[in-house]
Structure 1
Amino acid sequence: MDGGIGNRGFRVTPRSDRHDDADFGTAYTYKASLIGAAQQFELGDDGLIWRIGPKAGVWPYATIAKVRLSYRPVSMQSRRYRADLQDVSGGRLRIVSTTWQTVALMAPQDQAYRSFMIELHRRMRDAGSRAELIGGLPPAVHTGALVLIALVAAALTGLLARAVAVGSWSGALFLAGFALLFGWQIGGFIRRNRPRRYTFDDVPKDLLP
């Protein structure tokens, strides 16, 4: 991930991984990988303060050019959301609602992530930001996912029809169950990630925990 622009003369103070009551909603920390450094973010008076490993900086709220919110589940965590930020110089930051704790545990941070994102949007609005606010996947990616789902659905329908025709009821039952599970999981992903624009006062609820 691109850490973005430099510190622009601001002094960034390292923060711990723990959010106390005073910081809740204005500070957020997560680990993108088990062995990587924690990524720390804080909503300061001057802008969004970030620290990723040895890199650190401040993005004034008015210089944040784009925010994309999306729902990004993975095999180990179905409740995973992501915000991709870009500033006017092309720097990029990624903030995810889950954090790695152990080899087998990716823990959700639903309330902390939601509060932080809502407060970030509020401060950007108050700073007069003209950022592009986007929800969901890029249109081309979303369309490709719809085409893939249609192909899988057609294949499952053909297999189910064949199973019924030859009297393989156990196979038909299995395929029907698989189709329902597939539709429930993938359908939710597609529905939440439909491409859209939103405003500072109407942040999509389905793209936040």
Structure 2
Amino acid sequence: MPKPVLDHATTAAPRAPDTSYAYKASLIGAAHRFELTDDGLSWRTGGRSGLCRYLDIAAIRLSYRPVSMQSRRFRTDIECADGQRIVVLSTSWQTAALMAPQDRDYRAFLTQLHERMAKGGSRAMLIGGIGPTSYAAGVALSALVGVAIAGLLLRSIATGEWAGALFLVGFAVLFAWQIGGFIGRNRPRTYTFDQLPQGLLP
């Protein structure tokens, strides 16, 4: 009785589906394209391309980086062992007046990247927020601005300048909302593969 012919296409180990992500950092520049493959993190920008294997990723830093055109903008900095530095942004330029958020795709891409690194036994350093020096400078500057606003507000009330006092109150609320959110989200910390900092993801 003849032996059945094995179908290698069906008996081979299933290949994990690739996950891709792309964004434009500027209106006129080439798009940055990334793909998570079985071999590692593949990237392409214009005529340049490269591959960083998951075990060769030395560090990942997640941060919140709002800009005037987009208040919900997040950034990931990836450092590879060979010196490659990869930047992934959660927004993409669409037109001269539109920087579109890509929240769902950005989150899915980063979640899948961390899962693949963890599965491969990565020992990468996982960092959340900005550097301690920059963070301390931001906190000190915010405190100085807060003291200055409080002083001006008390003076306006004492002299009966109610219009000026209302303006200062409005400015204080706006400042606390924007700068306070930046400082709060970007507190320096480390995290683990199974607990990504939600404040640094859209």
Scaled by the length of structure 1, the TM-score of the pair is 0.87
SS in 2 for 1:34: coil
What do residues 156-177 of structure 1 show as CA deviations (whole Å, max 9, x unaligned)?
Answer: 1111011011101111011011
Distance 2:125 2:199 in 1: 19
Aligned to 1:67: 60
Instruction: State the Cα RMSD in Å.
Output: 0.9
Q: Give the counterpart of 2:190 among 191, 194, 197.
A: 197
Q: Give the counterpart of 1:179 among 162, 169, 172.
A: 172
Distance 2:55 2:119 in 1: 9
Structure 2 unaligned blocks of 5 or more: 1-16
Distance 2:87 2:60 in 1: 10
What do residues 103-160 of structure 1 show as CA deviations (whole Å, max 9, x unaligned)?
Answer: 0000000000000000000001111110000000000000000010011111111110
Aligned to 1:32: 25
* Equivalent pairs, count: 186
Please state if 1:160 is matched with 2:153.
Answer: yes
Residues 86-125 of structure 1: pairs in structure 2 closer than 5 A: 86-125=79-118
SS in 1 for 2:72: coil
What do residues 46-71 of structure 1 show as CA deviations (whole Å, max 9, x unaligned)?
Answer: 00010011110111100000000000
Distance 1:117 1:155 in 2: 40
Cα shift at 1:194: 0.1
Distance 1:89 1:59 in 2: 8
Structure 1 unaligned blocks of 5 or more: 1-21
Aligned to 1:48: 41
Instruction: Work out the percentage of aligned pairs sharing the same amino acid.
Output: 61
Please state if 1:126 is matched with 2:119.
Answer: yes
Cα shift at 1:185: 1.3
Aligned to 2:181: 188
What letter matches 1:94 in structure 2?
Answer: V
Aligned to 1:146: 139
Cα shift at 1:99: 0.1
Scaled by the length of structure 2, the TM-score of the pair is 0.90
SS in 1 for 2:115: helix
SS in 1 for 2:70: coil
Distance 1:167 1:60 in 2: 65
Please state if 1:80 is matched with 2:73.
Answer: yes
SS in 1 for 2:116: helix
